[in-house]
């Protein structure tokens, strides 16, 4: 590859991601090493919260300590400085509890921490990408493009949109687009799904035109709060 050449990061199929998470959890339960804990946390947090990697890396145990299943919690996005309201899922809660009980005694430490700092500093993005590539190789997960931290966020976005449509929520694309901070849904489609909007909508059953009031009700509060709970229930 020539210097300066960018490669595209594609999403993983949602069933593939869920299978990987389950295998990582099973392996950690059988052998509770720090390496297996780190791999499990990287995948589970990455695909359950759908945040940018820098926001995942800045999470400390105390940020999620005591948050119960179904409970909402707020994070401030580093890139946009916007509030993001998230919901604790059953699976993520299970993962956090089992890893915390096995390896953590100080809630002020970083969840995804640097190996050499005992939790006092977060893992770097470069380390995250290197370890992620190793995880995908070890578990023989097939992927397209360049595996990176953004792959997990894309997987959440694409999985959320598809699950919404499958459940009859024809606003899921708009909701997810607003959640990731895009002003136009075509941007979400181009960057995250690598498909054209025409191709997506042609594959869907005919639906009535959405009333304007429904679109307006997507905004949960005035200002910079974005809230969408999709993809967090399990």
User: Taking the CA atoms of the chain, what radius of gyration do you get in angstroms?
Assistant: 18
Whether residue 180 has pLDDT greater than 80: no
Residues 6+ apart with CB under 8 A from 84: 51, 55, 74, 75, 76, 77, 179, 226, 227
pTM, 2 dp = 0.79
Determine the pLDDT at residue 34. Answer: 93
Pick from 25, 23, 14: which is nearest to 151 by CA? Answer: 14
Whether residue 165 has pLDDT greater than 90: no
Question: In the listed set 128, 147, 166, which residue is the last one of a domain according to the structure?
Answer: 147
Question: In the listed set 123, 147, 171, which residue is the last one of a domain according to the structure?
Answer: 147
How far apart (Å, rounded) are the C-alpha atoms in residues 203 and 121? Answer: 46
Q: Within a domain: residue 210? A: yes
Per-chain mean pLDDT for the chain: 81
Whether residue 105 has pLDDT greater than 50: yes
Determine the pLDDT at residue 222. Answer: 34
Give the other-Cβ count within 10 Å of 122's Cβ. Answer: 21
Q: Which domain holds residue 84?
A: 14-147
Helix/strand/coil for 220: coil
At residue 1 the predicted structure's pLDDT band, cuts being 50, 70 and 90, is very low
Determine the pLDDT at residue 194. Answer: 63
Determine the pLDDT at residue 230. Answer: 43
Give just the sign of the alpha carbon dihedral 59, 9, 193, 91.
Answer: negative
Higher per-residue pLDDT: 27 or 210: 27
Pick from 76, 87, 28: which is nearest to 54 by CA? Answer: 76
* Lowest-confidence segment of 16-25, 77-86, 116-125, 183-192 by average pLDDT: 183-192
Percentage of residues in the chain with pLDDT exceeding 90? 45
Supply the CATH number for residue 130's domain: 1.10.443.10
Determine the pLDDT at residue 58. Answer: 96
What residue has token string 């919404």? Answer: 164
Determine the pLDDT at residue 197. Answer: 52
Pick from 39, 61, 44: which is nearest to 115 by CA? Answer: 39
Q: Within a domain: residue 2? A: no
Determine the pLDDT at residue 226. Answer: 37
């Amino acid at each position: 590859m020539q210097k300066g050449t960018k490669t595209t990061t594609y999403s993983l199929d949602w069933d593939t991601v869920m299978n990987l998470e389950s295998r990582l959890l099973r392996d950690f339960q059988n052998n509770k090493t720090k390496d297996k804990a780190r791999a499990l946390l990287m995948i589970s947090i990455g695909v359950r919260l759908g945040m940018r990697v820098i926001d995942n890396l800045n999470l400390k145990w105390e940020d999620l300590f005591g948050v119960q299943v179904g409970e909402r919690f707020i994070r401030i996005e580093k890139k946009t400085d916007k509030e993001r309201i998230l919901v604790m899922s059953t699976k993520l809660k299970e993962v956090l509890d089992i890893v915390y009980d096995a390896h953590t005694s100080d809630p002020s430490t970083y969840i995804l921490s640097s190996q050499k700092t005992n939790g006092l500093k977060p893992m770097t993005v470069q380390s995250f990408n290197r370890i992620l590539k190793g995880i995908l190789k070890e578990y023989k997960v097939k992927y397209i493009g360049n595996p990176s931290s953004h792959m997990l966020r894309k997987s959440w976005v694409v999985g959320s949109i598809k699950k919404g449509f499958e459940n009859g929520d024809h606003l899921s694309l708009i909701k997810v687009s607003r959640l990731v901070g895009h002003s136009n849904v075509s941007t979400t489609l181009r960057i995250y799904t690598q498909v054209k909007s025409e191709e997506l909508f042609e594959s869907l059953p005919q639906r009535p035109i959405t009333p304007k009031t429904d679109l307006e009700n997507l905004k949960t509060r005035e200002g910079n709060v974005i809230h969408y709970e999709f993809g967090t229930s399990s």
